[in-house]
Amino acid sequence: MKIDVLSLFPAMFQGIFGESILKKACEKQAVEYNVVNFREHADNKHGQVDDYPYGGGAGMVLKPQPIFDAVDSLKKGNDTQPRVILMCPQGERYTQAKAEELAREEHLIFICGHYEGYDERIRKHVVTDEISIGDYVLTGGELGAMVVIDSVVRLLPGVLGNEDSPILDSFSSGLLEHPHYTRPADFRGMKVPVELISGNHRLIEEWRDRESLRRTFERRPDLLDNHSLSDKQKQWIEEWEKSR
């Protein structure tokens, strides 16, 4: 996968691309990163990329020309059409399903804005996706882009050591992930559930299924609205509701 990022502050990405899983993914040649300061594409001697909004109002708006030209330069010579992602609080709320969708692409371009907003022609004629990582406003799109990139890259084949890891993550199954325990089995009187140390794989899987559902029921019941439940899972939920 090729990932291009358009940002006025490219140095912000040096740390995240040079550490942990994102660095390993690059070393394994699963992904190639490229960060572009789109100010370099401004068509004026001062490198100005923003201007006052028509009709008045607070703040400045990113001009279309630098973004259009920067994206055109990144598309040049490519056989495939990239997904062009605008990080924006007005975009669709980001989910694991969206991460899995983007992980199937060959080329992603992220646009990280600042100031009051974007010229609407950028949205209508350049962008394929608008993404928000939550119902709050950040100073710029960089931190949001980092979140999306991290969640996508870890899904690429061969990036994680255990190929089952992304499958078992919270939200991948539609539910939150079950609790985890490691050694010692008894720490300060706090014991690991007996099912996990029983050696019985059927009991272990049932415990994980039940605790994954319980955690979702307690913390994110909204996720259950569109989740298909087995008869056993419905029975567990009925028991928990009665005990409330």
**Mind listing the pLDDT tens digit of every residue in the chain (244 residues)?**
999 999 999 999 999 999 999 999 999 999 999 999 999 999 999 999 999 999 998 889 999 999 999 999 999 988 889 999 999 999 999 999 999 999 999 999 999 988 778 999 999 999 999 999 999 999 999 999 999 999 999 999 999 976 656 655 656 678 999 999 999 999 999 999 999 999 999 999 999 999 999 999 999 999 999 899 999 999 999 999 999 8
Q: How many Å apart are CA 195 and CA 189, to the nearest integer?
A: 17
Query: Beta strand pairing status for 50-51 and 61-62?
Result: antiparallel
Q: Which residues are catalytic?
A: 89, 116, 154, 169
Contacts of 18 (CB under 8 A, 6+ apart): none
> What is the pTM for the complete model shown?
0.87
Strand partners, 61: 51, 117
Contact 142, 9 (CB under 8 A): yes
For 19, the token pair is 């550490």
Phi, psi of 186, rounded to the nearest 5 degrees:
-130, 110
